[in-house]
Amino acid sequence: MQISTKLFNEQSIAQFNRQSAAIQDIQSKIATGKNILNASDDPTAAANLSFAKEQMTAIEKFKSNIEQANTRMTMAENALNDVSTVLTRIYELAIQGRNDSYTVQDRASIAIEIGQLKETLVGLTNTKDHKNDFLFSGFKVKSAPFKTNFDGSVHYQGDRGTHSVQISETMRMNTSMDGGTVFLRVKTENGRQSVFDIVSKIETDLMSGFVDPSSIGEMNAAVDHIAVQRSMAGAQINKGEIQLGAIERRLLLMNEKVSGLEDADLSKLVTELQSKITSRDAAQQAFVKIGQQSLFDFIR
Q: Look at residue 196 and tell me if it is in a domain.
A: yes
**Same domain (yes/no): 109, 210:** yes
Q: Are 29 and 17 in contact (CB under 8 A)?
A: no
- 144-170 exposure pattern, b = at least 16 Cβ within 10 A, e = fewer: bbbeeeeeeebebebeeeebebebbee
- 278-287 exposure pattern, b = at least 16 Cβ within 10 A, e = fewer: eebeeeeeeb
What per-residue confidence (pLDDT) applies to 31?
A: 58
**Same domain (yes/no): 166, 269:** no
d(CA 257, CA 175): 32
**Same domain (yes/no): 124, 202:** yes
The answer, yes or no, to whether residue 103 has pLDDT greater than 50, is yes
Residue numbers of the domain that contains 23: 6-33+264-299
Domain containing residue 89: CATH number: 1.20.1330.10
What per-residue confidence (pLDDT) applies to 102?
A: 87
Question: In this structure, is the dihedral angle defined by the CA atoms of residues 93, 99, 102 and 108, taken in order, positive or negative?
Answer: positive
Q: Look at residue 158 and tell me if it is in a domain.
A: yes
**Same domain (yes/no): 111, 237:** yes
**Same domain (yes/no): 295, 209:** no
Direct distance between the N- and C-terminal alpha carbons of the chain, in angstroms, rounded to an integer: 15
Q: Look at residue 49 and tell me if it is in a domain.
A: no
Q: Look at residue 206 and tell me if it is in a domain.
A: yes
Q: 191 φ, ψ to 5°?
A: 95, -170
The answer, yes or no, to whether residue 76 has pLDDT greater than 70, is yes
Average pLDDT, the chain: 81
pTM of the model: 0.71
**Same domain (yes/no): 232, 273:** no
Report how many domains make up the chain: 2
**Same domain (yes/no): 158, 282:** no
**Same domain (yes/no): 147, 83:** yes
**Same domain (yes/no): 189, 287:** no
Q: Are 65 and 58 in contact (CB under 8 A)?
A: no
A 10 A CB-CB count for 220 gives 17
**Same domain (yes/no): 272, 238:** no
SS3 content of the chain, % helix, strand, coil (to 5): 70, 10, 25
**Same domain (yes/no): 223, 273:** no
What per-residue confidence (pLDDT) applies to 259?
A: 59
What per-residue confidence (pLDDT) applies to 258?
A: 61
**Same domain (yes/no): 98, 130:** yes
Residues 272-293: tens digit of each pLDDT: 656 666 666 555 566 666 655 5
d(CA 113, CA 96): 12
